[in-house]
Amino acid sequence: MTDRLTTFAVGHYTKFPGLNYAHPRPFRNWKDQQLSAAIGGWLVGNPPSLELATLAYEELKGRGSDLQAGMKFAGAELEPVSWLVEAGERVRSVFTPDILQQQKQGRLGANVYVILRHGYSEENGLYGAYVGSTGKSPGQRCSEHRKGIRAARGLPRYGIEPLWSLFDFINPVPRARAGREEWETRLHEALAPVIPKVTGDVAF
């Protein structure tokens, strides 16, 4: 990965329409050619859609059809997010439907979120994640971080995009600060064993 990541623009952070981010294989119904073409488009954006490109790449890898996709990552001088699929599996195993239904208390309306960031060494996996919570939409809060508005350290320079596959199905969480921070901490602790670098506040 090159320093050109530091020049990426602040994006318009929205979910890809119709994609079930909570599914282990969200691109299972796409054909190889569709996936390969889409990966090329996602990688040349400013900022790139590394989450979508990585999930599509992993789908092709599972089919043994990832050669062209790997070349597109190399051509864009980017790397797939190596821990993304495992992190998704971890989150789904911790935040089961029963847990989500039974353990949310009080009025809901806030959101937890995870932001992909770079700036780490190759030994540490290049990418890390920031975990936060907000009363705003995750996309809006990510935009604020990138613009330096109440931003976490490093995100204005190194932040890339929200990783919807790691939090979207958990939301909404309790609106009250204590409840919101509890779920933020739970998410942080769920991801820490999988992602080499996880930053953000923990409540306890």
Give residue-wise pLDDT tens across range 160-187: 999 999 999 999 999 999 999 999 999 9
- Cα 177 from Cα 137, distance rounded (Å): 16
Instruction: Answer yes or no: is 188 within a domain.
Output: yes
Look at 22-36, 46-60, 78-92, 116-130 and tell me which has the smallest mean pLDDT.
116-130
Look at 20-29, 62-71, 110-119, 194-203 and tell me which has the smallest mean pLDDT.
194-203
Instruction: Answer yes or no: is 174 within a domain.
Output: yes
- My answer on whether 116 and 64 are in the same domain is no
- 204 pLDDT higher than 60: no
- My answer on whether 25 and 99 are in the same domain is no
Q: What are phi and psi of 14, to 5 degrees?
A: -135, 160
Q: Answer yes or no: pTM beyond 0.85.
A: yes
- My answer on whether 69 and 114 are in the same domain is no
- My answer on whether 107 and 70 are in the same domain is no
Domain boundary among 46, 81, 116: 81
Domain boundary among 65, 81, 97: 81
Domain total of the chain = 2
Instruction: Answer yes or no: is 173 within a domain.
Output: yes
Name the residue range of residue 13's domain: 3-81
- My answer on whether 96 and 187 are in the same domain is yes
Instruction: Answer yes or no: is 53 within a domain.
Output: yes
- My answer on whether 103 and 187 are in the same domain is yes
CA-closest candidate to residue 55, choices 30, 77, 74, 75: 30
Instruction: Answer yes or no: is 204 within a domain.
Output: no
- My answer on whether 15 and 57 are in the same domain is yes
Work out the pLDDT band at 201, boundaries 50, 70, 90: confident
- Cα 187 from Cα 170, distance rounded (Å): 9
The reported pLDDT for the residue numbered 3 is: 44
- Cα 17 from Cα 21, distance rounded (Å): 10
Query: Residue written as tokens 């907000």?
Result: 134
- 1 pLDDT higher than 80: no
- My answer on whether 93 and 72 are in the same domain is no
Domain boundary among 62, 81, 100: 81
Instruction: Answer yes or no: is 139 within a domain.
Output: yes
- My answer on whether 194 and 128 are in the same domain is yes
- Cα 181 from Cα 1, distance rounded (Å): 33
